[in-house]
Amino acid sequence: MLKYRLYIFMAVFGLVAFLLVTSVVNFNDRIFQYLFSKPASRAQAVDETPLVDLKITYSGTIRDEVLDVPKNTQGITLSWTTTQNPVSCTGLGYGLTDKDESWNGPKDPKGGTFKIKKLNSNNPYVYTINCSNDQGDGSGDSVTINIGASDNFISPYITTFDIFLGSKNYDQASFINVKKGDVVTINWKTLNLATPYSICVVSGSVNKSFTSINGYKAREEIKIAGDKIFKYAIYCSNEHGFTKQSAAFFPE
């Protein structure tokens, strides 16, 4: 009888000990998750690169992406606001047959406004702004002013946006860890961008523009040269609309 009681005691003691240990582990994990947003076993760095929001104001209306107006329109203003402590911001202008280079150059990292001169060419004028801080580059932002365009009622799309590191394919929204010296491949493809006003620009850590991009498949190979957060953001527009995709790379 004493032997069976001993077995029962040992079983109960073992069960209580197991519950106590798992309770403490789960409690610690919940504490870590509360403090760092992820469980201890899956903790990741936080993206603290700057965010910037660029807008167009015209005739009392604020636009986030695209404005269509005739030649010689006056009274158009750009404005931008920032968060997450940008140290510096830079504006760049793009276009097909013309571009507004008066926008090019440093911009106030605390935010500001910019009055646009007369735009005289039938052309998509693209304005981008990029901001950075000690953590790395933000994705920036972009707006397009179409001068003299007629609406084609067909929205543009980025139909493919694939990221490869070695043989591994990442979702563009994933947290992507890289090392200095890694070569990242970004493949993207567009749709409904064969119109006279179609244009794509890349912002963030890379700055360039693409034209004649309907059904175009770009392949970009980018070497991670530094130890700060690296961003690749693409913005495409036509006479009717606007589309974008972005990726973020976090050096270990």
What does the pLDDT average to over 189-199?
89
- Whether the predicted pLDDT of 217 surpasses 90: no
Out of 6-20, 75-89, 140-154, 159-173, least confident range: 6-20
Could you count the other beta carbons within 10 Å of the beta carbon of residue 180? 12
Residue 202 identity: V
Tell which wins on pLDDT, 14 or 148: 148
Per DSSP bridges, beta strands 66-69 and 141-147 are parallel
Q: How many domains does the chain have?
A: 2
131 and 195 in a single domain? The answer is yes
Helix (H) or strand (E) holding 93: strand 88-94
8 and 38 in a single domain? The answer is yes
What's the pLDDT score for residue 55? 98
What's the pLDDT score for residue 173? 57
What's the pLDDT score for residue 215? 61
For 84-99, write each residue's pLDDT tens digit.
Answer: 999 999 999 999 999 9
158 and 120 in a single domain? The answer is yes
Confidence of residue 236 (pLDDT cuts 50, 70, 90): very high
Tell which wins on pLDDT, 181 or 24: 181
- Whether the predicted pLDDT of 26 surpasses 80: no
For 102-140, write each residue's pLDDT tens digit.
Answer: 999 999 999 999 999 989 899 999 999 999 999 999 999
- Whether the predicted pLDDT of 176 surpasses 80: yes
Helix (H) or strand (E) holding 211: none
Residue 251 pairs with which residues in a beta bridge?
178
What distance in Å separates the CA atoms of residue 242 and residue 206, rounded to the nearest whole number? Answer: 19
Confidence of residue 46 (pLDDT cuts 50, 70, 90): confident
Under a CB-based contact definition with an 8 Å cutoff, are residues 162 and 156 in contact? no
- Whether the predicted pLDDT of 40 surpasses 70: no
Report the percent of the chain where pLDDT is more than 70: 79
What's the pLDDT score for residue 174? 63
144 and 232 in a single domain? The answer is yes
Per DSSP bridges, beta strands 157-165 and 168-170 are antiparallel
Q: What is the pTM of this model?
A: 0.80
121 and 172 in a single domain? The answer is yes
Tell which wins on pLDDT, 58 or 37: 58
35 and 160 in a single domain? The answer is no
Tell me the residue range of the domain where 72 lies. 51-251
115 and 18 in a single domain? The answer is no
24 and 68 in a single domain? The answer is no
75 and 131 in a single domain? The answer is yes
Under a CB-based contact definition with an 8 Å cutoff, are residues 144 and 65 in contact? yes
- Whether the predicted pLDDT of 206 surpasses 80: yes
152 and 175 in a single domain? The answer is yes
- Whether the predicted pLDDT of 39 surpasses 70: no
Contacting residues for 193 by C-beta, under 8 A, at least 6 apart: 156, 199, 200, 213, 214, 216, 236, 238
13 and 89 in a single domain? The answer is no
Could you count the other beta carbons within 10 Å of the beta carbon of residue 114? 18
CATH (domain of 187): 2.60.40.10
Q: Which residue has the tokens 């990292």?
A: 109
Most confident of 10-19, 23-32, 163-172, 197-206: 197-206
Structural tokens at position 24: 């403490």
What distance in Å separates the CA atoms of residue 82 and residue 251, rounded to the nearest whole number? Answer: 24
142 and 235 in a single domain? The answer is yes
